[in-house]
Amino acid sequence: MAEMTGVLSRYRRAGDYLAATMIHLKDNFLLQAPLRPEHLKPRPLGHWGTCPGLTMVYAGLNRLVAETGQRTLLITGPGHGAPAIHANLWLEGTHAEYDPLLSRDGRGLAELVKRFSWPGGFPSHLSPEVPGVIHEGGELGYALSTAFGAAFDDPGLMVACVIGDGEAETGPTAAAWHSPKFTGRGDGRVLPVLHLNGYKIASPTIYEAMSDDELVAYFTGCGWSPILVDVRDAEEPDTLLAEALTQAHGRDTGPPPMIVLQNTKGSGLPSTSPDGIPLEGTFHSHQVPFPGAKDDPAELTALEAWLRSYRPEELFDDNGVPAADILAVPPAPGLRLGRVPQANGGLLRRDLPLPDVGKYAVAVGEPGGTDASAPEVLAEWLAEIVRLAPDTFRVVCPDELQSNKLGALLGATRRQFDRDVPGYTEHLGERGRVHEVLSEHLCQGWLQGYLLTGRHGLFPCYEAFVSIVDSMVNQYAKFLKMADEVSWRVPVASLNYLLTSDGWRQEHNGYSHQGPGFINQMLTKKATTSRIYLPPDANTLLETMHRCLGSTGLINVVVAGKQSGPQWLSPGEARAHCRAGAAVWPWASTTDGPADVVLAAAGTTPTVEILAAARLLREVAPELRVRVVNVVDLLALCPPDRHPHGLSDEAFIGCFGEETPVVFAFHGYPSAVHEVLHGRNRANRFHVHGYLEEGTTTTPFDLLAGNRMTRHDLAADAVRRAPGWASAGGDLARDLIQRRDALLTRSYQDGQDPPEITEWRWRT
Amino acid sequence: MAEMTGVLSRYRRAGDYLAATMIHLKDNFLLQAPLRPEHLKPRPLGHWGTCPGLTMVYAGLNRLVAETGQRTLLITGPGHGAPAIHANLWLEGTHAEYDPLLSRDGRGLAELVKRFSWPGGFPSHLSPEVPGVIHEGGELGYALSTAFGAAFDDPGLMVACVIGDGEAETGPTAAAWHSPKFTGRGDGRVLPVLHLNGYKIASPTIYEAMSDDELVAYFTGCGWSPILVDVRDAEEPDTLLAEALTQAHGRDTGPPPMIVLQNTKGSGLPSTSPDGIPLEGTFHSHQVPFPGAKDDPAELTALEAWLRSYRPEELFDDNGVPAADILAVPPAPGLRLGRVPQANGGLLRRDLPLPDVGKYAVAVGEPGGTDASAPEVLAEWLAEIVRLAPDTFRVVCPDELQSNKLGALLGATRRQFDRDVPGYTEHLGERGRVHEVLSEHLCQGWLQGYLLTGRHGLFPCYEAFVSIVDSMVNQYAKFLKMADEVSWRVPVASLNYLLTSDGWRQEHNGYSHQGPGFINQMLTKKATTSRIYLPPDANTLLETMHRCLGSTGLINVVVAGKQSGPQWLSPGEARAHCRAGAAVWPWASTTDGPADVVLAAAGTTPTVEILAAARLLREVAPELRVRVVNVVDLLALCPPDRHPHGLSDEAFIGCFGEETPVVFAFHGYPSAVHEVLHGRNRANRFHVHGYLEEGTTTTPFDLLAGNRMTRHDLAADAVRRAPGWASAGGDLARDLIQRRDALLTRSYQDGQDPPEITEWRWRT
């Protein structure tokens, strides 16, 4: 052990030295000359505090992997400790393999150190540019759930996951500690290392305020077998950690092991700065230890003394090549943490076997002549995927699979929940393709880890509550965007959302369950990343989901109602409609020439209402020339120079004319349509009806009325907007609204919508 | 005890009976006739599963409060168990006090039962319409943090908080268990009751999968003293709970008590439905127990048998008046759970003492002649508020107070953290106005509870990470909107965000820390609720924050850069500018008549760049007539019929002309400006530059260039857009972009922006 400790200690000195220089130096990297201000970066940026701990873990894992051959993926929660990870990637030779400029010699060392936090260089955090990385760690909270996602269905893999004690304060991390209950025998193992160095940016952490007994109790309660490793005053910290890692790795019965690494923040620094500010072991070591060194001679002296305390001349030869014993620490190339293929999951991804949707499609004779629940139809197709891909496809859902009408999936698989729960259960088992947990954060984190390591998945969710993961999606979209710019990254399968149980038909629930804002959220993303679909019926949902599950590198948001309702398009029509993105529905229109008004819709409920409005208009204004347009791909409305799905001007005019007023019934907030139309000519002629944040527990028709989107509101708007209909239109509109109100009165009396609404079906 | 148990058991029977009838009946409420289909609601909606447990807790608290006189606020995490809460509010007489139609007799009973989940009636979840409620509980996860917020600074108050075991799976709840560490002696106490009935909608819960030992370990680890109460097969469940409540209430040293109530889901139901589906004690009891009773005689029979099993004739007289012993259970009126004034916090709210900002303002001689960090200036003013309002104002922050340059607050108060943490700390104490925890969810939940009980607060946050609470803000905005429509609710202080450490100047961090999407998020909210301010300097920030902290009923989002930079407006000018919302800056304009182009900006960095662009244009195109406009109130751009802050047409034209092209430098995504301008005439003439999701760790100027928002980009756009400048404009634009690129090349070489950028200051 002592020998190992000696080598690992030297290895760590090299890693820490490199990390320290990355933050501070732009020259004289080996300190072969006295340190002078011109050797320092003009803007020293980065985070030192967590670096020594990260290298300690990296070194320990190197030893374990070299000794055991354990395939290991490392997820670094404290992504701002990037200098440490870069140092290790350089020492193990991975950096040089991805970029010859980062060779393991003085030239490569110079390039590495200078490139860090330099314009055009490496960012200050981990990011997709960095080999071995599937987790950025800038926004905190998602390392542990990502680690579990990476481990699912990869039984030989160990995912080591470092979690800072700052990150551990977040809710998503706190929830993720329960993940072992959702892990089964066919899955890999996750080895969490809580890096308890006591401080976040400016304060002690929650975990620092817990006694050892409380730490053990907490993690035991979560179902772990915690191993406390206190290296703060240890003579041989590497030995302590090595023992813990070996113990953890060897244990394969009982509660899974996790490690609490009790460490000194920013260890290696002097105890105080020249100004007397405490450094090592305090939050003052969090970022740049000597930010003023370029201008303050005392700081410069202290910085030089600190850097020289690592004795770089003992670690690197005069040419900057690390000593042989240090180079011998990392495992064989195929096992290096930076080279594990799971960290570039696109390499491992195989196309998901997607059954032809034809077999699952609904037979639709005349439009509106058949009823179905689109998710119910989809679920049978998904069940077949599960049968065809028993270990590369997972569905995560916040306890809503059946509520979202996807229960048929459970005919082909189970909910994975690896505990002998007492009492009555259904469809629960130690292996299963479905994960149900009442935490959107966990669903998202697990799925991210699963996708980024080369697999496929689907996240069905109540539409209103998917906003819980807004910020995770922000970060994931950034990861995809950056990954797309890295030549060696191979695209991973898209992240697919099926948002259903939407606010228009949430009968058991009320205002809190109404929220279509995720669409707006997605509209802030790069056009290379985001897709938004609103299939109006089952066959369009099948076509849409087929497209999404076959795609890579995207975030696909599919919004579709779950309640049984009229079906509009035959399988062939659905395919054509989805290819077009937006198209005229001639059978619903009263003209194939110029129209007085366009009635357009996007979304399940809006499509019903716009068609009902078209029917109303045939009755009350038969001479009005109406064109009905349906939009399944919201981004088709964007000008083509803003989004690759944007309809050509010609196709757009084919749908909406050039000056024709458009009454648009939209599933979400009207602002989303305003936004996608921006840049189209005469966008002000689009009169968008949508969700106006008016709602409660009430009937579907009353909810539409509160948001001015009943068929009557839409028809009334149409006659008001149609050119030349000014006077007649006003009277007609008033009549329509009166008809609406009479129906509402009956709804209030009867506690349900009248049959005129509930039993209404399209008839040509 | 036995006597008490007998009465509480009868009380619960009454409560459960009422809840069951609310879900099912619209007539024959006392079952005085045989149950027939026409007595049933046509759309039976609601959630039964959690109701019996809620009434058990309510009954137990009634007993405790009656016995001890303990002031108690109840927060009900499972808000979908609204029928139970309504039943209790009716039994205790609170409903009748708020609405005479809900009298404690047969007429009121009929009204109550029928009104539940009926169009125009009570929603299926708790909501602001319900007395005693400050937490809706539709979206799960926030009950516990809200409870702590309500308890802060109210030492005599006990906040009882029921948390469903479904909700307990969420990350925000998991984080909130650590809240006692942030609670001090001047605060009230929180008594959590984990309602462990084993199931969420369709599966067993995580907590059901934990052994009793694990439950005790987990909560002990979090710092609680857990009391397990298993009433599943208890003869006298009320006695067991009463003992636990008394024990918990009496304990005032050591770790605070919490209760794990191990209960049977949907208890009281028959064990199976007529179809043989298991009901009591399974997830099948989650929603409506007998949804088909109206059409299925077997279900109708089963429903009637179930309802009659409560023996309503023993609980209510023929007129529907509850029996005297039942009426005697709730405490005296002043102590009833439904009447505690904290649940209508506006009643308790007192205006925050707001010091005149003049004393704290920056002296600004000529525009741009002084440098300051706006948050640093603000912090001195906030510190004075803390001194003046030592127990009604709190600041929550995710460990970023000093990073956000608000450290001066710590001259007047401390970070509250109630534990003897070892090691070095600064500004930490058992009492303090500042809460720093690395969980935006906790910050938000605590603050919501604090505001809703009548106090004031501020949430400074890194702008990019405030999206973590998007969904909480969605729900809070809904609460405010509904509360505003309830006559007896008194407005509470506004929820104030200060978003700083914005993406344009995040030197130590990179792409993950860039995200201005919260502005877009707020734009989906009702105009009655949302406000968005982008003060460009310290004095406008002071004025803005003075306005926000003096307001009620709103969500105010204030976005302001933290880095030291040029100051533009004197205190008087700042006041006028903030009152106007958007205004011409004449000193920066080259014309006071018609302009060729308007240069507009909103936000700290965009303001600097637009002014630098104006300077550039004076140099390269001195004959170009430029008007410079600054927007501090983003919603001033809305048409006045869409938002109360919308500028009148006259004022809008005064700023932007009628046809003049506008080059707009915006802090956030350009789409936000497109959205607010929707409905203004000729909105397409606004050419908005903003954040385009291009970024990494780099220099500020490089970041601007990546997003095409440097002064050069803006000036180039101006000369391109100006009418009549077609040919000259193109050449000028090319020159400007070349000048930009030369500066960028130097940035890349030097690792920092050249002095032309960093030392640039406005000179008239």
pLDDT at B739: 98
The minimum CA-CA distance between A206 and chain B, rounded to whole Å, is 7
Q: Does residue A647 register a pLDDT over 90?
A: yes
pLDDT at residue A509 above 90?
Answer: no
Chain B residues within an 8 Å CB radius of A642: none
- In order of A90, A152, A449, A490, the CA distances from A344 in angstroms are 18, 16, 11, 7
Mean pLDDT confidence for B289-314: 97
Two structure tokens written together for B201: 């909608």
Cβ contact A177–B174 (<8 Å): yes
Average pLDDT on B531-558 reads 98
The residues near A724 (Cβ < 8 Å, ≥ 6 apart) are A596
Q: Which residues of chain B neighbour A438 with C-beta distances below 8 Å?
A: 140, 166-167, 169-170, 200, 205
Cα A260 to Cα B264: distance, rounded to the nearest angstrom: 37
Inter-chain CB proximity B202 and A118 less than 8 Å: no
B384: pLDDT strictly greater than 60 = yes
* pLDDT tens, position by position, B611-637: 999 999 999 999 999 999 999 999 999
d(CA B601, CA A500): 39
Distance between CA atoms of residues B362 and B570, nearest Å: 7
Residue B431 falls in which region: left (phi positive, over 0), alpha (psi -120 to 50) or beta: beta
Positive or negative: CA dihedral B668, B674, B679, B680: positive
What percent of chain B is modeled with pLDDT above 90?
A: 95
Residue B1 pLDDT class (50, 70, 90 cuts): low
- A168 → chain B, closest CA residue: B438
Lowest mean pLDDT among A2-6, B59-63, B695-699: A2-6
Q: Where are the domains of chain B?
A: 2-336, 357-565, 581-758
Helix A470-484 vs helix A440-452: crossing angle, to nearest 10: 10
B140 contact residues in A (CB cutoff 8 A): 438
**Residue A728 pLDDT:** 82
B751 to A118: CB separation less than 8 angstroms, yes or no? yes
Which region among A413-417, A441-445, A747-751, B251-255 has the lowest average model confidence (pLDDT)?
B251-255
For the CA atoms of chain A, what is the radius of gyration? 30
Question: pTM for this one?
Answer: 0.98
Q: From A516, which residue of chain B is nearest by alpha-carbon distance?
A: B524
For residue A417, is pLDDT > 60?
yes
Q: Do B512 and A748 touch (CB under 8 A)?
A: no
User: E strand or H helix at B217, and its extent?
Assistant: helix B212-221
Chain B positions touching A751 (Cβ under 8 A) are 26, 41-43, 118-119
Tokens of A88: 């290790």
Question: What is d(CA B447, CA B439) in angstroms, rounded to the nearest whole number?
Answer: 12
Position B2 scores a pLDDT of 58
Alpha helix positions (H), A659-710: 670-677, 700-706
Confidence at residue A405, expressed as pLDDT on a 0 to 100 scale: 95
b/e per residue A574-592 (b: at least 16 CB within 10 A): bbebbebbbbbbeebbbee
- Residue A4 pLDDT > 80: no
Sign of torsion over alpha carbons B477, B479, B480, B486: positive
B43 vs A contacts (CB less than 8 Å): 507, 699, 751-752
Within this chain, domains A357-565 and A581-758 share the same CATH topology: yes
pLDDT value for B615: 97
R_g over Cα of chain B = 30
Q: Could A125 and B439 be called an inter-chain contact, meaning their C-beta atoms sit closer than 8 Å?
A: no
For A607-616, the pLDDT digits (tens) are 999 999 999 9
Domain B2-336 CATH assignment equals 3.90.1150.10: no
User: Cα–Cα distance between A575 and A573 in angstroms, integer?
Assistant: 5
Concatenated DSSP letters of A171-193: HHHHHHTTGGGG--TTS-EEEEE
Tokens of A486: 């890295």
Judged by CB atoms closer than 8 Å, whether chains meet at A678 and B671 is answered as: yes
Separation in Å, CA of A165 to nearest CA in chain B: 9
* Residue of A467, A482, A530, A673 to mutate, testing the B interface (most B Cβ within 10 Å of its Cβ): A467
Mean pLDDT over residues B298-304, rounded? 98
Whether the Cβ atoms of residue A500 and residue A404 lie closer than 8 Å to each other: yes
Residues A666, A667, A673: CA angle, nearest 5 degrees: 45
Taking alpha carbons only, the member of A205, A215, A220, A223 closest to residue A140 is A205
**B512/A125 touch (CB, cutoff 8 Å), yes or no:** yes
**CA-wise closest residue to A145 among A161, A156, A157, A131:** A161
Mean pLDDT of B401-416: 96
Q: Distance between CA atoms of B540 and B404, rounded to whole angstroms?
A: 17
In this structure, the dihedral spanned by the alpha carbons of residues B8, B14, B15 and B20, taken in order and rounded to 10 degrees, is 140
pLDDT at A727: 78
A436-484 confidence digits (pLDDT tens): 999 999 999 999 999 999 999 999 999 999 999 999 999 999 999 999 9
Residue A420 pLDDT level (bands cut at 50, 70, 90): confident
- DSSP secondary structure letter of residue A437: -
Q: To the nearest whole percent, how much of chain A has pLDDT over 70?
A: 99
B296 exposed, middle or buried (CB, 10 Å; 0-12, 13-18, 19+)? Answer: middle
Which residues have C-beta within 8 Å of that of residue B126, sequence separation ≥ 6?
Answer: B76, B79, B82, B85, B133, B135, B136, B137, B138
In a mutational test of the A interface, the residue from B39, B416, B511, B513 whose CB has the highest number of chain A CBs within 10 Å is B511
* Amino acid type, A57: V
A118/B205 CB distance under 8 A:
no
d(CA A425, CA A58): 42
Nearest-CB residue to B138 (from A210, A512, A669): A512
Determine, for residues B475 and A520 on separate chains, whether the beta-carbon distance falls below 8 Å: no
The whole-chain average pLDDT of chain A stands at: 96
pLDDT of residue A2: 58
CA distance, residue A358 to nearest chain B CA (Å): 31
Q: What is the pLDDT of residue B509?
A: 87
Q: Give dist(CA A446, CA A435) in Å, integer.
A: 9
B185 pLDDT band, cuts 50/70/90, is: confident
Tell me which amino acid residue A90 is: W
Q: Check: CB of residue A510 under 8 Å from CB of residue B124.
A: yes
The verdict on a CB contact (< 8 Å) between A468 and B465 is: no
Burial B565-579 (b: 16+ CB within 10 A, else e): bbbbbbbebbbebbe
Q: What is the pLDDT of residues B205-236, one digit of tens each?
A: 999 999 999 999 999 999 999 999 999 999 99
CB A163 within 8 A of CB A175: no
Q: CB B674 to CB A678 under 8 A?
A: yes
Give the count of beta carbons closer than 10 Å to the beta carbon of residue A700: 21
3-state SS string for A491-553: CCECEEEEEECCHHHCCCCCHHHCCCHHHHHHCCCCCCCEEEECCCCHHHHHHHHHHHHCCEC
Say if CB A336 and CB A730 are below 8 A apart. no
Chain A partners of B219 at a C-beta cutoff of 8 Å? 221
Closest-CA distance, B104 to chain A, in angstroms, reads 24
Interchain pair A174, B169: CB under 8 A = no
- Please state the rounded mean pLDDT for residues B304-322: 98
**What's residue B421's pLDDT?**
87
The C-alpha atoms of residue A142 and residue A144 are separated, in whole angstroms, by 6
B669: which chain A residues are within 8 Å (Cβ-Cβ)? Answer: 524
Tens-digit pLDDT profile for residues A128-183:
999 999 999 999 999 999 999 999 999 999 999 999 999 999 999 999 999 999 99
Q: Do A696 and B123 touch (CB under 8 A)?
A: yes
> How would residue A251 be classed by pLDDT, with cut points 50, 70 and 90?
very high
Contacting residues of A for B123, CB less than 8 Å apart: 510-511, 696-697
**For residue B462, what are the β-bridge partners?**
B500
* Nearest chain A Cα distance for residue B326, angstroms: 30
Q: What is the dihedral of CA B199, B204, B205, B207, to 10 degrees?
A: 100
What is the nearest CA distance from B2 to chain A, expressed in angstroms? 30
Could you tell me whether strands A565-567 and A370-372 are parallel, antiparallel, or unpaired per DSSP bridges?
antiparallel
Per-residue model confidence as pLDDT tens digits over A5-47: 789 999 999 999 999 999 999 999 999 999 999 999 999 999 9
Q: How confident is the model at residue B729 (pLDDT cuts 50, 70, 90)?
A: confident
Least confident of A3-12, B313-322, B323-332, B751-760: A3-12
Residue B563 has pLDDT above 60, yes or no: yes
CB contact under 8 A, A415 and B282: no
Place of tokens 């310290």: B538
Rounded mean pLDDT of A500-509? 89
Q: Can you tell me the mean pLDDT for A300-312?
A: 98
ipTM score of the complex? 0.97
**Residues B651-707: tens digit of each pLDDT:** 999 999 999 999 999 999 999 999 999 989 889 899 999 999 999 989 999 999 999
Nearest to A124 among B215, B509, B521 (CB): B509
Pick from A203, A421, A698: which is nearest to B204 by CB? A421
pLDDT beyond 70 at B507: yes
Among chain B residues, the shortest Cα distance to A119 is held by B698
Closest C-alpha to B166, from A306, A465, A552, A375: A465
Domain A357-565 homologous superfamily, CATH: Thiamin diphosphate (ThDP)-binding fold, Pyr/PP domains (3.40.50.970)
Confidence (pLDDT) at B394? 98
CB B686 within 8 A of CB B677: yes
CB contact under 8 A, A524 and B525: no
Q: Supply the CATH classification number for the domain B581-758.
A: 3.40.50.920
Structure-block tokens of residue B177: 């268990």
To the nearest whole Å, the CA of A120 is away from the closest chain B CA by: 7
Q: Where are the alpha helices (DSSP H) in B365-439?
A: 374-388
- Strand (E) or helix (H) holding A229: strand A225-230
With a cut of 60, say whether residue A626 has pLDDT above it.
yes
- To the nearest whole Å, the CA of B405 is away from the closest chain A CA by 12
Burial B595-612 (b: 16+ CB within 10 A, else e): bbbbbbbbbbbbbbbbbb
pLDDT of residue B730: 87
